[in-house]
Chain A
Amino acid sequence: MATQHSRSAARIMMAPAVILLLGWMLVPLLMTLWFSFKKYLPLRGGDLGWVGFDNYVRFISSSSFWPSVQATLIIVGGVLAITIIFGVLLAILLNQPMWGQGVVRILVIAPFFVMPTVSALVWKNMFMDPVNGLFAHLWKFFGAEPISWLSEASLQSIILIVSWQWLPFATLILLTAIQSLDSEQLEAAEMDGASPLSRFGHITLPHLSRAITVVLLIQTIFLLSIFAEIFVTTQGAFGTKTLTYLIYQRVLESQNVGLGSAGGVYAIILANIVAIFLMRIVGKNLDA
């Protein structure tokens, strides 16, 4: 019963949320676009006039741009690979009959609730420290030379920390999806003599494909902008300067707002490409 009256009421009710989000999106976005075409140095003269696409060209041709893209891709790719592979395995394991399943779930999901600055600090000091870290003790126990993780294997260390944080998310979503799998289908396949591996490949994995895609897209969006993990551990040193961190340094550390804004526009474009795919999947689900 959608009368004319309730329609206009609906519009008014929706207005605050829509207007706020519109403002939150448009105002900073337009300002970033504006700055990106200017030479703007807040500490050295402020607004020094229009420079066209100069900032865009300079950002891309700077010597730290491609390494930062590479670092971003390695971290995002590494974390995605680890969390999805282990997430699928863990989800299958947790779906098996066992004692104390609820407790195991609680243990596995816990890292997701740890704030990024805490997990980065705990890993950095208590595990990866080359003198007092647990890994150092472990290495010494086996007679090996302790590694100073965050400088010698910096990218791997960051990938490990971030994967630990995101594995629970991937596992929980994949577990939810796996629980909706019809077990009779698996049983029928088993009776027909399908091996566990082919049952996994032909039934479980296709069933999970949608959930895997969702995990992939959502994590990519979050991982593209990881910040605290790098801020707390290496501050962008040892080849861990991601695109996000590079932009952050341009804007806040070297106070070159024009250049940083051009970088920001690149980051926004990148994130939007991923977002479009995610929207398609979520949008399809809305019709169902």
Chain B
Amino acid sequence: MARAVTPQRKALNTAIAWGIGLLIFFPILWTILTSFKTEAQAISDPPVFLFFDWTLENYSVVQERSDYMRFLWNSVIIAGGSTILGIIIAIPAAWSMAFVPSKRTKDILLWMLSTKMLPAVGVLYPIYLIFIRMGILDTRLGLVVVLMLINLPIIVWMLYTYFREIPGEILEAARMDGASLKEEILYVLTPMAMPGIASTLLLNIILAWNEAFWTLNLTAAKAAPLTAFIASYSSPEGLFYAKLSAASTMAIAPILILGWFSQKQLVSGLTFGAVK
């Protein structure tokens, strides 16, 4: 940007952008604020914004009444497990696509991507049936597998784009020094690609954490993660805004923070590198 901008112009930009930014963020802010109110204050007319008696009561009530920690733990296992498993399967695949490319590499990548486009509802019953037969309906294992498969194309794709940036000569040198393929990937490639692997991990944890079709339809009581926990609040049982807000805040806080760190990867990950 070589162009000089007048301070007035910059101030105007700032004011408009902050205004719109706060407007977009407002529903989240409002939820967080409401989570610290009492139920009576949460529905007071007119609404109170900042000047109320801040309380942490809702958080302890939510935990006590619906065992929030169990759902949180399910979310952590399902999102983390599916992503880590996906990365373990994807690293060798991305290695061979990036360093031993063939004529078919591009076709295989595009085909993998196309499996992601399959509408979930179209295959809901078969998956449901398979899950019952295998005895993994409403288990964390079942969801780890499904979410891993859903995100595997994105993981392979992201790792492939990161691996391509690494010069093949370094891997070759390791091979010359007598490193086996396993050692080459484990001790040379993986450490070098760590930043890329970390962003892949981050983005896919977010996607798995927020996935709400399979998690709602394949779990009941045991393996239900936070998406299902929150959905159970959809049938109103009296006045519960403050508790709903506390539960919502707890469900989104960890991922919101992770998300802010990984916003750049979001573009490359979700557009498959089509926008730079």
Residue of B128, B263, B272, B274 touching A109 (CB-CB under 8 A): B263
Whether A126 contacts B127 by the Cβ 8 Å rule is no
Check if B212 sits within 8 Å of A227, measured CB to CB: yes
Q: In chain A, what residue has the closest Cβ to B3?
A: A187
Please tell me if A65 contacts chain B, counting CB pairs below 8 Å: no
Binary CB contact string for chain A from 119 to 145 against chain B (1 if under 8 A, 0 otherwise): 111111111000010100100010000
When C-beta atoms are compared, the residue in chain B nearest to A132 turns out to be B43
Find out whether the CB atom of A28 lies under 8 angstroms from the CB atom of B123: yes
Hey, which chain A residues are within 8 Å of B168, CB to CB? Answer: 1
B105 → chain A closest CB, angstroms: 9
At the interface, yes or no: B61 with Cβ under 8 Å from chain A? Answer: no
Is B217 touching A252 in the complex (CB atoms < 8 A)? yes
Residues of B within 8 A of A94 (CB): 17
> B92–A13 contact, CB under 8 A?
yes
A224 to B259, Cβ gap below 8 A? no
Stretch of A54-62, A74-82, A110-118, A194-202 that contacts chain B: A110-118
Say yes or no for A85: interface residue by CB 8 A criterion: no
**Cβ B89 vs Cβ A17 within 8 A:** yes
**Residue pair B121, A27 in contact (C-beta under 8 Å):** no
Considering residues A32, A101, A167, which has the most beta carbons from chain B within 10 angstroms of its beta carbon? Answer: A32
User: A13-B93, A17-B112, A247-B122 are contacts. A114–B2 as well, Cβ < 8 Å?
Assistant: no
Count chain B residues whose beta carbon lies closer than 8 angstroms to a beta carbon of A. Answer: 101
Query: In the bound complex, what is the Cα–Cα distance between A268 and B244 (angstroms)?
Result: 36
Shortest beta-carbon distance from B89 to chain A in Å: 5
Bound Cα distance from A32 to B129, whole angstroms? 11
Q: Are B109 and A32 in contact (CB under 8 A)?
A: no
Q: Which of A117, A168, A172, A247 is close to B24, meaning CB atoms less than 8 Å apart?
A: A168
Query: Are B252 and A115 in contact, with the CB atoms below 8 A?
Result: yes
CB-nearest residue of chain A relative to B1?
A: A183
Q: A90-B20, A121-B248 are in contact. Are A14 and B92 (CB under 8 A)?
A: yes
- Checking A32, A109, A285 against B260 with a beta-carbon cut-off of 8 angstroms, the contacting residue is A109
Cβ contact of A10, chosen from B43, B47, B100, B234, cutoff 8 A: B100
Contact with B along A196-237 (1 / 0, CB 8 A): 000000000000001100100010010011011001110000
Please tell me if B194 contacts chain A, counting CB pairs below 8 Å.
no
- A63 at interface by CB-CB < 8 Å: no
Instruction: Give Cα A187 to B5, complex, Å.
Output: 13
A11 within 8 Å of B (CB atoms): yes
Check A285 against B274 for contact (C-beta < 8 Å).
yes
Determine if B226 is an interface residue (Cβ-Cβ < 8 Å). yes
Residues of chain B with a CB closer than 8 A to A21's CB: 112, 115, 149, 152-153
CB of A98 within 8 A of CB of B117, answer no
* Cβ-based interface call for A177 (8 A): yes
Nearest A residue to B225 via CB reads A115
Q: How far is the CA of A115 from the CA of B271 in the complex (A)?
A: 20
* CB <8 Å contact, A113 and B255: yes
Interface assignment of A49: CB less than 8 Å from any CB of chain B? no
**Interface flag for A29 (CB, 8 Å):** yes
Cα A221 to Cα B119 with chains together (Å):
8
A-contact bits for B17-33, CB 8 A (1 contact / 0 none): 11011101101101100
Q: In whole angstroms, what is the CA distance A232 to B209 when docked?
A: 17
Query: In this assembly, does A43 line the interface, its C-beta being within 8 Å of a C-beta of chain B?
Result: no
Report if A16-B25 is in contact (Cβ < 8 Å); known contacts: A97-B10, A121-B234: no
Q: Name B119's contact: one of A99, A109, A271 (CB within 8 Å).
A: A271
- Is A274 an interface residue when CB atoms closer than 8 A count as contact? yes
Closest chain B CB from A208 CB (angstroms): 10
Q: How far is the CA of A6 from the CA of B270 in the complex (A)?
A: 31
A17 contacts B30, C-beta separation under 8 Å: no
Cα distance A260–B127 in the bound complex, in angstroms:
14
A173 within 8 A of B: yes
Give complex CA distance A180, B276 in Å.
8
**Contact present for B259 and A113 (CB under 8 Å):** yes
A252: chain B residues at CB < 8 Å are 124-125, 128, 217
Given contacts A9-B100, A127-B27, 12 further A-B contacts (CB under 8 A): A25-B118, A32-B122, A111-B28, A114-B252, A132-B43, A264-B124, A268-B118, A268-B119, A272-B117, A282-B113, A283-B106, A286-B106
Give 5 CB contacts A-B under 8 Å.
A14-B92, A107-B25, A114-B252, A210-B275, A268-B122
Q: List the 8 shortest-distance A-B pairs measured between CB atoms, nearest first.
A: A264-B122, A113-B259, A10-B96, A28-B123, A31-B126, A13-B92, A107-B21, A228-B212
